[in-house]
Chains A and B, each alone.
Chain A
């Protein structure tokens, strides 16, 4: 009994000591979903923040990227951290509507972010308030294998008509004109978005994803008609492969073009491509004269409504929004900063091209699954996949999407 009492005493003392140690530091819990490279970059950023604020201890709790998407719903209600990663646009709407994210308009106000982050402000705003801070985005476009172009004797196209006619050259050379992997669905949403943006323009596309346009509209059919032109030249078994498998086809020269986000450059280069034979082009114009809009999904950090250390969380948001922090993080990861005063490394041709593409764009779309509500995104992307496999079913597919639209946006 005596031994037990002694042990208990020692334990209590140890507990007291450890609380005493951390009492000097305020804890800031941060739940995130980084892959290894972004994780290292964020850890470096956190070290900077802690050096500037020695009284704050940021505890980064990193989740698996896919698992995070479902885990966030549990931890927001059950055990809210002080900061959480998520995405801009309609993707954050369920959490905003349910009151799970905190209004951080005051951070935007006091740090002057409305000006610095102007390009991303609209996608962070719901009901006139800002609900988080963007720290990075990246361009989408067409990545192509220059060797495959040379082998097939094709010129890099500047218009959609040229792109389509190139496809015949690639087909003659036994190369897939366009590759993609639709097993996870989202890669083909990028193709649809660009076809839609280029055929009918940004405003119309936004109306479509906002549920204001019927899916049976002739303008929707026009988008699918453009898509049908390249389907015979698209990798045949795309529904069975992931985007990385399709990236391998591009690297091996079995495919010439790939509609993808800039994060794929790392994968292409791991496969052995270099700045010499990997090319990037802006998705070519389809309907002449339509202002060029681009796809630029934005990643964001939010403060959950149940956060305990709101004060320091806001300080961290202001820090992540700053030009220096965004330059550092995005240089390390190879993405674009959302702060207009940040700089982009000049020796990375893809980042430079992306920066030009986005800064010269008329408007930025997020991505189909971020602009449209979750349910519509899922039904829509399944419809796109079915269309790619069975283009003749287009009317039945559009009827189904229209039925879903009528139900989802009421």
Chain B
């Protein structure tokens, strides 16, 4: 026994250290993924007996208008949420100065990320609320006619995304602020001596050094956009008439909400969402792996 240990210590030890993490990861992530895929082939109300229906859930999904609405909204989320990256960068550069009290300003800008998403959602729904909401009254004052953003299927998704961008920008900002701390001052000095400033300085000197921060910012923003659920749930509950649903919310609605008893159908939506996420995640992993091996 001890001879075996001695001979293979270097090979076994890492696995022993990884074991607890791997165990948890298997139980809470890997196995549920396969269970969800399995459930998506059943007609099951979550209570009684499950009935195997093959791919019927997926066939229904292809013909489901609500599914396409959710998918379209997910794409809008993904595209508009990306605004958080340049916006966060701008604020980070703006705040990256040495003025007395700067820490206070930085923490104030970071504040929205500290607030729970639920609170952000509530604040914005009051902001948009007809009759007394600030934004509603502003529109009424400007155009003479108020628009209840959250009751209008044309604007509702954009209204929710605006609420989501607020904390997301703060998050990206903090990522860039730490990144800016690591920008090599000698390179900036050298660039100055060569006469670089303004946009050229940003584009050719600062941004390349911020690449790791940009990578993380894009990753968290993509994932944040795809799993957007709490804001939709708090602000509109998917309404009006389902026009602000996203895939994660639609899945919850079908499987677990007050009127949802379709575990199989919900699981099928989850599988589609998982497939979409997999595209991005494998892209990210591939890039990370490439960077690691190049080094």
Binding site for B on A (CB under 8 A): 66, 69-70, 73, 76-77, 94-95, 97-100, 182-185, 236-241, 369, 374-375, 377-378, 382-383, 385-386, 389, 400, 407
Q: By the criterion CB–CB under 8 Å, are A385 and B240 in contact?
A: yes
For B48, give its contact among A99, A374, A382, A383 (CB under 8 Å).
A99
Question: Which residues of chain A have C-beta atoms less than 8 A from B129's C-beta?
Answer: 240-241
Question: Which residues of chain B have C-beta atoms less than 8 A from A237's C-beta?
Answer: 130-131, 148, 151
For B239, give its contact among A95, A98, A239 (CB under 8 Å).
A239
Q: By the criterion CB–CB under 8 Å, are B258 and A69 in contact?
A: yes
Q: By the criterion CB–CB under 8 Å, are A374 and B260 in contact?
A: yes
How far is the CB of B227 from the nearest CB of chain A, in Å? 19
Question: Which residues of chain A have C-beta atoms less than 8 A from B48's C-beta?
Answer: 94, 97-99
B86 on interface, CB distance cutoff 8 Å: no
Question: Which residues of chain A have C-beta atoms less than 8 A from B240's C-beta?
Answer: 182, 239-240, 385-386, 389
Q: By the criterion CB–CB under 8 Å, are B47 and A385 in contact?
A: no
Q: By the criterion CB–CB under 8 Å, are B241 and A385 in contact?
A: yes
Q: Give CA–CA (A289, B41) in the complex, Å.
A: 50
Given A240-B150, A241-B129, A382-B242, verify A98-B45 contact (CB < 8 Å). yes
Question: Which residues of chain B have C-beta atoms less than 8 A from A236's C-beta?
Answer: 130, 148
Q: By the criterion CB–CB under 8 Å, are B47 and A239 in contact?
A: no
How far is the CB of B261 from the nearest CB of chain A, in Å? 6
Question: Which residues of chain A have C-beta atoms less than 8 A from B199's C-beta?
Answer: none
Q: By the criterion CB–CB under 8 Å, are A240 and B47 in contact?
A: no
Q: Give CA–CA (A178, B48) in the complex, Å.
A: 42
Would you list which residues of chain B between 260 and 277 have a CB under 8 Å from chain A? 260-262
User: In the complex, which residue of chain A has the Cβ closest to the Cβ of B242?
Assistant: A382
Q: Give CA–CA (A374, B229) in the complex, Å.
A: 22
**Interface pairs (14), CB distance under 8 Å:** A70-B256, A70-B257, A77-B47, A98-B45, A99-B48, A237-B130, A240-B129, A240-B130, A240-B148, A241-B129, A369-B259, A374-B259, A385-B240, A386-B241
A contacts with B: majority SS: helix
Q: Give CA–CA (A385, B240) in the complex, Å.
A: 7
Q: Give CA–CA (A127, B179) in the complex, Å.
A: 68
How far is the CB of A405 from the nearest CB of chain B, in Å? 14
Would you list which residues of chain B between 70 and 124 have a CB under 8 Å from chain A? none
Q: Give CA–CA (A99, B258) in the complex, Å.
A: 19
Interface string of B182-213 (1 = CB under 8 A from A): 00000000000000000000000000000000
Q: Give CA–CA (A400, B241) in the complex, Å.
A: 12
User: In the complex, which residue of chain B has the Cβ closest to the Cβ of A238?
Assistant: B151
B128 on interface, CB distance cutoff 8 Å: yes
Given A94-B45, A98-B48, A407-B60, verify A240-B258 contact (CB < 8 Å). no
Question: Which residues of chain A have C-beta atoms less than 8 A from B45's C-beta?
Answer: 94, 98
Would you list which residues of chain B between 145 and 190 have a CB under 8 Å from chain A? 148-151, 153
Task: Give me 15 other A-B pairs in contact (C-beta within 8 A), A70-B258, A239-B150, A241-B151 excluded.
Answer: A77-B47, A97-B48, A98-B47, A183-B237, A236-B148, A237-B130, A239-B240, A240-B240, A241-B129, A241-B130, A378-B253, A378-B259, A385-B240, A385-B241, A386-B240
Question: Which residues of chain A have C-beta atoms less than 8 A from B256's C-beta?
Answer: 70
Question: Which residues of chain A have C-beta atoms less than 8 A from B130's C-beta?
Answer: 236-237, 240-241
Question: Which residues of chain B have C-beta atoms less than 8 A from A182's C-beta?
Answer: 239-240
User: In the complex, which residue of chain B has the Cβ closest to the Cβ of A400?
Assistant: B65
Question: Which residues of chain A have C-beta atoms less than 8 A from B131's C-beta?
Answer: 237
B236 on interface, CB distance cutoff 8 Å: yes
Considering the complex of A and B, which 5 residue pairs feature the smallest CB-CB distances, nearest first? A240-B151, A98-B47, A239-B151, A98-B48, A378-B259
Q: By the criterion CB–CB under 8 Å, are B151 and A100 in contact?
A: no
Q: By the criterion CB–CB under 8 Å, are B47 and A185 in contact?
A: no
How far is the CB of B132 from the nearest CB of chain A, in Å? 9
Q: Give CA–CA (A168, B46) in the complex, Å.
A: 49
Chain A CB within 10 Å — which of B46, B65, B130, B241 has the most? B241
Question: Which residues of chain B have C-beta atoms less than 8 A from A369's C-beta?
Answer: 259
Interface string of B12-34 (1 = CB under 8 A from A): 00000000000000000000000
Q: Give CA–CA (A221, B117) in the complex, Å.
A: 42
Question: Which residues of chain A have C-beta atoms less than 8 A from B65's C-beta?
Answer: 400
Chain B CB within 10 Å — which of A375, A377, A383 has the most? A375
Q: Give CA–CA (A236, B131) in the complex, Å.
A: 11
Q: Give CA–CA (A70, B263) in the complex, Å.
A: 13
Given A98-B45, A389-B241, verify A374-B261 contact (CB < 8 Å). yes
Q: By the criterion CB–CB under 8 Å, are A377 and B151 in contact?
A: no
For B259, give its contact among A66, A239, A377 (CB under 8 Å).
A377
Question: Which residues of chain A have C-beta atoms less than 8 A from B151's C-beta?
Answer: 237-241, 389
Q: Give CA–CA (A184, B153) in the complex, Å.
A: 16
Q: Give CA–CA (A237, B145) in the complex, Å.
A: 12
User: In the complex, which residue of chain A has the Cβ closest to the Cβ of B238?
Assistant: A382
Q: Give CA–CA (A238, B259) in the complex, Å.
A: 21
Q: Give CA–CA (A407, B63) in the complex, Å.
A: 12
Q: By the criterion CB–CB under 8 Å, are A183 and B236 in contact?
A: yes
Question: Which residues of chain A have C-beta atoms less than 8 A from B46's C-beta?
Answer: 73
Q: Give CA–CA (A76, B240) in the complex, Å.
A: 32
How far is the CB of B127 from the nearest CB of chain A, in Å? 12
How far is the CB of B232 from the nearest CB of chain A, in Å? 13
How far is the CB of A215 from the nearest CB of chain B, in Å? 15
How far is the CB of B67 from the nearest CB of chain A, in Å? 13
For B47, give its contact among A66, A76, A184, A375 (CB under 8 Å).
A76
Q: Give CA–CA (A377, B149) in the complex, Å.
A: 26
Chain B CB within 10 Å — which of A69, A76, A238, A240 has the most? A240
User: In the complex, which residue of chain A has the Cβ closest to the Cβ of B149?
Assistant: A240
